[in-house]
Amino acid sequence: MSENKELYLNFDEYIRQGEPAQREKAGYWQAAIGLQAVDGLKVSGYLQETARRNIEGEITIDEARELVKQYYVTKTAHDANDEDKEEADRVSSNIVKVLSSPTFDFTTGGYQSVHRRVFEGVMKHAGELRTYDITKKEWVLEGDTVLYLNWEDLRRAIDYDLEQERAYSYKGKSQDEMIGHLTRFVSGLWQIHAFGEGNTRTTAVFTIQYLRSLGFDVNNDPFARHSWYFRNALVRANYRNVAKGIERSPIYLERFFRNLLLGDQWDLRNRYLHIHPTEEWSVQPNLATRTSNGHTPEQVPEQVGGLLHTNNSLIIGLIKVIGDKELSIAELMKTLGLKHRPNFLEYHLKPSIKEGFVRMLYPSSPRHPRQKYLLTVKGLALYNELTK
């Protein structure tokens, strides 16, 4: 068993049985370490122990990052792969620092900032857009490359993609439509390949932050265990070769996001993504295709599933009341027929906000005199399913 897999097991214990703060930190470390696999990197045992100390609350994330830095500065005995481990260790701790921050800047500068912060102390040109054109030979493409954007148009392309996404409305969209749109946005942003190195890790961290800003409680496990699949799915979503009869295939990336956000169970192994898979790997299975009584999904009624669902009837009731409107607390209580404000806040509104279904119109000013409440993208997704 690899070092990384052993650490996943430790993380799973924290995620299942730890305190809330421990679960959150373990999820960040799990994703950060798993993302190193996109460049074939593995973390050291020292990083694992440092991560444990941070999860346990013995040290802060800033102290953890400094310990990792000093470990390699003072290390006297060097192994052949020390350089790779140092990159994996320092980038992992940097990613945890980024994911631990509640702030998010959905701009080109913000995207560059993610790259700079993730690769601080590792890459000389961290945060700088590349000034040359690139190609990369891909195993899933049998040595061919995705056509990445020419370097002169990088900033303009990022500006355009982010502006288009900012203007997009998720109101009235089904879960499938949302997943399809998110797939197109993320794959398009990655295809720009704004940096000389580290594009997939940067895109992954930026995506996690963006999904959280939309109200999704992101399950970091797919990024942790299937980061190499994530990268190859991005490749297939952007590769087209008409001469060979190959069209872009976003379906693999859609399945990654379905596992991430809807709780689907697609088998995320790389051999399904090869442009010429063997017969054994030609059909990617959904591991939930058979229920305990042997039924396939086509025989089972469709459910409102995964992370977009809640069993809390009070949250569901509030979601139905808000719909596509913006309502004040007084308006919400009146519509629900409630008169006791503390109970409404404690049992209806606060849980809805905490679970990412409802947000404030003025989040930076909770006591704003014209404060109102509306559904997040996650809340709209459930509302759309509930009102079909």
The pLDDT value given to residue 10: 67
The domain boundary residue, chosen from 276, 307, 338: 307
Helix (H, G, I), strand (E, B) or coil at 356: coil
Mean pLDDT of 285-300: 51
In a domain, 143, yes or no: yes
Asked if 356 and 217 touch (Cβ cutoff 8 Å), the reply is yes
- Find the mean pLDDT for residues 144-162: 97
Residue 266 has a CB neighbour count (10 Å cut-off) of: 23
Show the tokens assigned to 171: 């109101």
Q: What is the mean pLDDT of residues 217-242?
A: 91
State the pLDDT confidence band at 151, using cuts at 50, 70 and 90. very high
Asked if the model's pLDDT at residue 299 lies above 60, the reply is no
Asked if the structure places residue 175 within a domain, the reply is yes
Among 36, 66, 101, identify where a domain stops: 101
Q: Which domain holds residue 244?
A: 127-307
Last residue of a domain, one of 307, 337, 361: 307
pTM of the full structure: 0.79
140 plus 219 within the same structural domain: yes
Is residue 185 scored above 80 in pLDDT?
Answer: yes
**What is the count of structural domains for the chain?**
3
Structure tokens at 345: 């806040």
Considering the domain architecture, whether residues 178 and 318 belong to the same structural domain is answered as: no
161 and 180 in a single domain? The answer is yes
Does a structural domain hold residue 36?
yes
284 in the same domain as 148 = yes
pLDDT number for residue 6: 53
Confidence of residue 307 (pLDDT cuts 50, 70, 90): low
| Burial of 361 from C-beta contacts in 10 A (0-12 / 13-18 / 19+) | middle
Work out the percent of the chain whose per-residue pLDDT is above 70. Answer: 92
